[in-house]
Amino acid sequence: MKTIKEPKVGVIMGSKSDWDVMKNTCDTLKSFNIKFDARVISAHRTPKRLEKFIKEAERSNYEVIIAAAGGAAHLAGVAASLTTIPVLGVPMLSVTKGIDSLLSTVQMPAGIPVPTLAIGKAGAINSALFAITILGRKYPEILKKLKKYRSNFEKKIPQKPY
Ligand code: RP5
């Protein structure tokens, strides 16, 4: 895609085991020709890696970071605390069907917001679409694609349920 400046999205996840779901985020970004950098980074297992990644993201002017984690999911919150780049949270399925992940991602005390998507695959896809929506405010080519995606989406929905 030709743009004046190529936007880049960071996609981080707490474990390799999150990839099956987070692949949907990357596939959605790919379908819009958005460049991304996907990495396994855990707030508690690899905190130094997280700090290093955030510094790189700032240096490289990433415009959105998508952070997925499951269980006591603090990756998105910690990432958001280290940067002013918008961080979107995606709760992963877990032993409590993702309710723990959802609450620990979304329930940020006032001060550091983490806009949080749905649990699992729907959230993974929507995190990419929301990142695209943010980018669309700045990049007309991306907005155009998003509008096309929306209208195609509508065409796929049948008028009648039978
Ligand atoms: C979280 O713990 C990860 O994001 C993952 O969803 C969950 C389980 O991780 P593994 O034990 O599969 O590595 O940190």
Q: Judging by beta carbons within 10 Å of its beta carbon (0-12, 13-18, 19+), is residue 61 exposed, middle or buried?
A: exposed
**127-141 pLDDT tens trace:** 999 999 999 999 999
Distance CA 90, CA 122 (A): 9
* Two tokens, residue 136: 């669309």
Top mutation candidate among 92, 99, 119 for ligand 1, by most atoms within 8 Å of CB: 92
- Lining ligand 1 with CB less than 6 A are 13-15, 17-18, 42, 69-71, 92
- Is the pLDDT at 113 greater than 50? The verdict is yes
**31-55 pLDDT tens trace:** 999 999 999 999 999 999 999 999 9
Q: Dihedral of CA 41/43/49/54: which sign?
A: positive
- Is the pLDDT at 77 greater than 70? The verdict is yes
Amino acid present at 44: H
